[in-house]
Structure 1
């Protein structure tokens, strides 16, 4: 059995063929798709975060709104770039959104992906050390502070003459959402960062690309990364079982619309390239009739290892079609693979 959800990059473009021609279109349709996915029996609605782009950016208003409009489905990010974040304010935003959603947030965070602009986080007023030009170290330091704050322990000395009465002792950030600390995921690009996530008690979120560390097929390297994460987790004492997600582009071709959009479009081979100074391997996509998809996905070692599968969706094709994409996988593929 697997948790199956969608991952939307939230693209919008003012073009006649796009169902999302504005930021408002994307935001409102994202909420509608979360509702549709819940009705179909999917388990998660996840959203990518990109700055300086015609895509979803600030995630917490969207997560809060989706939380208010749904009742069961998990709501998450994949991922928030911590270089851009103020951990203090993020804890307040995340706590508020999680309480609105009734404790259903699953927050994927990381150092982030290549940006639309040069050193975009610097425009947000943040700096990194001279020996940390990419901001990776700064992102990890902010993450460690975020995790500490999410524990909910008091750390700030109260004003002796406060405007409102205080509880006794040092004060914490409010609102505090109990349990959110265990629902933080780290988007790991390498085996080393997967181990780092395990050391810090975060779930593992692995995408459709990773650092090429052996030259092997993507799914083999990703499965090894998952193994490294779980091995490190077993050496820790976090008091709960971790989760692992992978994302895939998977399209079951069941009608003429699918054939028009995706027949013959699946990348049947992995791709190797340099990205952001890193030698990376990009996983293949899947687009085929259900019987063929079932055979191909049964060979994907990383999908087999993960407990959560996030299906990347073409959000510019509209809510109705993306609901169809999810329903096709849930109905025609997942049962045959034992995911449902």
Structure 2
């Protein structure tokens, strides 16, 4: 039911637009895996899905599904299923007949199609809902039906275009759990478009970062957070620390001083990035100048639930850190920060 998806050098520009929607976009999604495409509004995410689905033709480049270039293949024959932010269910049909729709269109008799549809409703935990109408469902239930309907067509590739963005946080968490169970049951190849980095990390195996139609970064979820390929990728993933400098003699030299870097870091100019949650706020105020620690003055403190977000002025540089609220910091406090070498990453200029 799954297949490799290869996107090779995709370009797309819409008439009248000053900038292309996609520029040289290349990405491989291995069969049975899920890649989240993450980026701000207007970055080209939905256009990318429409090109994969055959709803838009690229100006250049190829879409290959299971090794076959699908240029010119109609959307309904590509083996691609799609779920949108709105469920787009048929209000005049029962839930069971909505899910059975693709089988009925392909010529399967009604009894067999409805029997298969029942299996997919059970997969999305809606057994017993088959005789209901769309208007009787909650938003989360509608999206479950939309996923069941897409899966019933047995697509090689399943495209999800921000399908959970209209749901409240609790329902979104439930849908992420559902997606896990669906993947265990049928292992579809999935491309999930989202603007929510937490959702991307929770639901996918890999993350591709897109901005202005250009691929900024592609890799594992951990790489996206801690080893971004450029500073902008770090920012999209919520990173707040980026300090320019030069790597030499095993350290990054900048306004922070000499910060030790991992042994495999190349020499030359580069920007130090480190997640704010990896910056340690040392207990005991200034104290002795511990090896590798950096002195600074607290410029701002914001308590956000279980964490405090702290901005610390360290000479000409500003570092962001997180700490538990019990580790009290106030404006003007002189403190020391520790940057663990294993958490330091250098982006080459």
TM-score interval (norm. to shorter): under 0.3
- Rg comparison, structure with higher value: 2
Q: TM-score scaled by structure 1?
A: 0.28
Higher relative contact order (CA closer than 8 Å, sequence separation 6+): 1
